[in-house]
């Protein structure tokens, strides 16, 4: 097996072609030391309307502002908090789920482990039409508490790094208000400046959001991680490159640790991509429009209006990371992931401003895997039990196995397609 920090020769030969075409699965690894402005919502119907997920995803605008009742399965992942159709999860659209949110002030435990959103800053120069939303009150019944508790439980067996891996998915009847847009894509002017903020949820990429009012008929299903648990049991940590790791105290300042780790990325396009991802974070007391919030869960409805702070480009980028699920090395690796998302929103690569959301998620997971591997992890598992990195794979196996795992994860768990 080649040294752990050696970039495979065939990947080196393919890098330029892969980056120019922005292929879906960008899996070169480093093994070297080194929203349309939303119209005012119509008045909701007197009682909830029964709908299914695929009908909403197919024609989201027709449901805006309606109180609905959905029988669906809720998935809480790394940067997903989604309702999927319980019988046909693949609706055949770029995004095949509805983002789930709780009303402000709910203080629930379940939600995404990490999320990145964009909103107009206080100094936003464009025209913003704030929609009128009918308030929703969450019924914190016994069934909701069960629902919330189940979705907040992490998968804790095995010894690998399992980012955002939940123990359960939950099928239930969900009642709430649907907020929707016809087109969730972020719009830009000729200079690349954001002039419209798209949809909801992570990266404002979802055309529909359900603001939850009540839950009933809660049925949990434990997610099967048995195959990855069998592979990853035992000590998961390698000795990181000199200066890139340390004891528990080394992670007291995750930003310092991120910088130290990035210094060991190789000097090639993928290494540059990883360093650029973390360059988005503010240095010290710098106000650059990017904020990182530790300890939140990103599960509540965000304000539709202007933010309270100014930003150099008139846009605020907020990264929320849940400390209950991200500690030590996993927090550091997660920062690379959200940093890549900020870069895709603020400074997209040439000719990629309209890149499908699945490609943005793909690129963020590639950067995440680089950080995990250079940081000394033996394994990296994605939510749902997809083994994305295994130190035991041969050099020839790595490319194919990682590419297959990420492809399956994006379609099967993140519910994304072309």
The residue whose two tokens read 């990490």 is 114
pLDDT in tens, 256-282: 999 999 999 999 999 999 999 999 999
Taking the CB of residue 418, how many other CB atoms lie within 10 A of it?
Answer: 9
In whole angstroms, what is the distance from residue 112 CA to residue 92 CA? 23
Confidence (pTM)? 0.88
Burial class (CB in 10 A: 0-12, 13-18, 19+), 126: middle
**What is the predicted pLDDT for the residue at 12?**
34
Task: Give pLDDT < 70 ranges for the chain.
Answer: 1-46, 158-159, 234-251, 353
**What is the predicted pLDDT for the residue at 6?**
38
φ, ψ (nearest 5 deg) of residue 192: 90, 5
In whole angstroms, what is the distance from residue 370 CA to residue 294 CA? 23
**What is the predicted pLDDT for the residue at 349?**
80
Q: What is the DSSP letter of 102?
A: B
Q: What is the CA radius of gyration of the chain?
A: 21
CA distances from 237 to 99, 289, 329, 393 (A): 34, 35, 10, 16
With beta carbons less than 8 A apart as the criterion, state whether 296 and 319 touch. no
With beta carbons less than 8 A apart as the criterion, state whether 49 and 153 touch. no
**What is the predicted pLDDT for the residue at 34?**
41
**What is the predicted pLDDT for the residue at 336?**
98
- Pair of tokens at residue 411: 């379609």
Instruction: Determine the length of the chain.
Output: 418
With beta carbons less than 8 A apart as the criterion, state whether 309 and 316 touch. yes
Q: What is the DSSP letter of 61?
A: G
Q: What is the DSSP letter of 397?
A: H
């Amino acid at each position: 097996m080649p040294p752990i920090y050696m970039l495979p020769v065939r990947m080196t030969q393919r890098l330029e072609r892969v980056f120019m075409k922005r292929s879906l699965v960008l899996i070169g690894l480093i093994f070297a030391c080194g929203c349309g402005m939303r119209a005012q919502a119509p008045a909701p119907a007197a009682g909830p309307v029964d709908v299914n997920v695929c009908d909403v995803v197919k024609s989201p605008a027709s449901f805006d502002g309606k109180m609905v009742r959905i029988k669906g399965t809720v998935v809480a992942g790394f940067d997903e908090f989604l309702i999927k159709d319980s019988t046909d999860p693949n609706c055949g659209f770029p995004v095949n789920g509805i983002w789930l949110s709780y009303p402000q002030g709910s203080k629930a435990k379940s939600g995404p482990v990490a999320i990145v959103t964009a909103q107009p800053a206080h100094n936003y120069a464009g025209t913003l039409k704030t929609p009128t939303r009918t308030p929703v009150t969450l019924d914190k019944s016994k069934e909701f508490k069960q629902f919330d508790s189940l979705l907040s439980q992490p998968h804790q067996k095995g010894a690998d790094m399992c980012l955002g891996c939940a123990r359960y998915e939950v099928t239930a009847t969900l009642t709430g208000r649907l907020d929707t847009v016809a087109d969730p894509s972020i719009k830009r002017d000729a200079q690349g400046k954001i002039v419209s903020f798209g949809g909801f949820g992570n990266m404002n990429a979802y055309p529909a959001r359900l603001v939850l009012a009540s839950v009933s008929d809660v049925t949990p299903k434990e997610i099967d991680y048995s195959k990855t648990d069998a592979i990853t049991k035992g000590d998961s940590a390698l000795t990181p490159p000199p200066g890139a790791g340390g004891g528990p105290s080394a992670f007291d300042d995750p930003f310092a640790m991120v910088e130290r780790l990035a210094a060991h990325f190789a000097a090639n396009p993928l290494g540059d991509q990883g360093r650029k991802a973390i360059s988005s974070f503010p240095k010290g007391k710098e106000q650059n429009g990017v904020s990182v919030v530790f300890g939140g869960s990103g599960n509540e409805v965000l304000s539709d209006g202007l933010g309270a702070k100014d930003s150099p480009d008139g846009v605020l980028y907020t990264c929320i990371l849940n400390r209950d699920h991200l500690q030590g090395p996993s927090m550091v690796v997660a920062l690379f992931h959200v940093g890549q998302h900020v870069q895709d929103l603020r400074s997209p690569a040439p000719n990629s401003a309209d890149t499908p959301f699945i490609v943005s998620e793909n690129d963020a997971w590639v950067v995440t895997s680089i950080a995990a591997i250079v940081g000394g992890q033996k394994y990296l598992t994605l939510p749902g039990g997809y083994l994305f990195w295994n130190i035991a794979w041969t050099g020839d196996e790595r490319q194919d196995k990682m590419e297959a795992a990420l492809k399956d994860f994006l379609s099967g768990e993140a519910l994304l397609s072309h």
